[in-house]
Amino acid sequence: MVKLGVIGVGSMGGAIIRGLLSSGQLAPGEILAFNRSRERLRSLEAEFSLPVAPNAHRVAQEAEYLLLGVKPYGIAPLLADLADSLVHKPVVISIAAGTPIAKIEEHLPEKTPLVRVMPNVNAQIGQSMSGIAANQYVSAQALSEVRAMFESIGKTALVAEEHFAIFSALAGCSPAWVYRFIDSLAQAGVAEGLKKEEATRIVAQAVAGSALNVLENLSPGLNPQGLIDQVCSPGGTTVAGLLAMEDAGFSPAARSAVFAAVKRDKDLSGS
């Protein structure tokens, strides 16, 4: 038996495997992977000598923890196909967006431990923010081990499943919105004479540093508004730009994006 079996090694599944192996959290011999396209596995095979299974059934039969890296629409047919291979009830981990625990349980043997995880795209560079929820059959030890796995690709938070829609908006969708913010500022830099790559690099570093500053100051009790007040000198350029952003609807637009994403998530999940 292997510690972790992975079925579906796309961008996210591959990032998780790479994070686990690069951090030393798991050794190559503790992971068994399968993907319908062998091409997606070649770099992991070459770099880490990652064992590859001939089929999904072998992975399911041998895994203590089973990560399902398939798209949401692929969960039901995959689990139906694997029914006979899941009788030992591995701890199943789903990263399928918009697919609640109850819907996945319908396709698993009764009382199978199931953990739902929502990582984000920054897992590709080891900087994900992953939300984790579990059903009643997951032991405290198993939940701790799953959390440790995902902390190899960033940070984690235990989230009540009823709050997964808002977590998905704040952590799963927001990277795209931040990318748009960065690109918009960089475009203004180009308009003022900078090259696009140079402007993008400047803005991205400023955003990265600002995010770290927020995290560093949360424990001392300084919220983002407090940091804004530190930067805004009376009559200065920063407050002038900030007021222009607010006049253009920046804060309401940001909140609207969150509310729209939450609504869409609930529509897709049927909740």
Q: How far apart are CA 248 and CA 175, in angstroms?
A: 21
CATH 3.40.50.720 residue window(s) in the chain: 2-159
Q: What's the CATH code, domain 166-269?
A: 1.10.3730.10
Given a cut of 90, is residue 11 above it in pLDDT?
Answer: no
Q: Which residues contact 3 (CB under 8 A, 6 or more apart)?
A: 26, 30, 31, 63, 64, 65
Given a cut of 70, is residue 145 above it in pLDDT?
Answer: yes
CATH 1.10.3730.10 residue window(s) in the chain: 166-269
Please give the CATH topology (third level) of the domain spanning 2-159. Rossmann fold (3.40.50)
Strand order in the sheet with 114-118: 31-34, 2-7, 63-68, 91-94, 114-118, 128-134, 154-158
* pTM for the structure as a whole: 0.90
One-letter amino acid of 234: P
Q: How far apart are CA 74 and CA 97, in angstroms?
A: 12
What average pLDDT score do residues 14-40 get?
A: 91
Q: CB under 8 Å, gap of 24 or more: what pairs does 83-86 form?
A: 83/109, 84/57, 85/56, 85/57, 85/60, 85/61, 86/60, 86/112
One-letter amino acid of 42: R
**Tokens describing residue 65:** 């923890």
Given a cut of 70, is residue 271 above it in pLDDT?
Answer: no
Element (H, E) at 131: strand 128-134
Q: What is the pLDDT of residues 53-105, one digit of tens each?
A: 999 999 999 999 999 999 999 999 999 999 999 999 999 999 998 899 999 99
Query: Could you count the other beta carbons within 10 Å of the beta carbon of residue 16?
Result: 27
How far does Cα 215 stand from its chain's mean position?
18
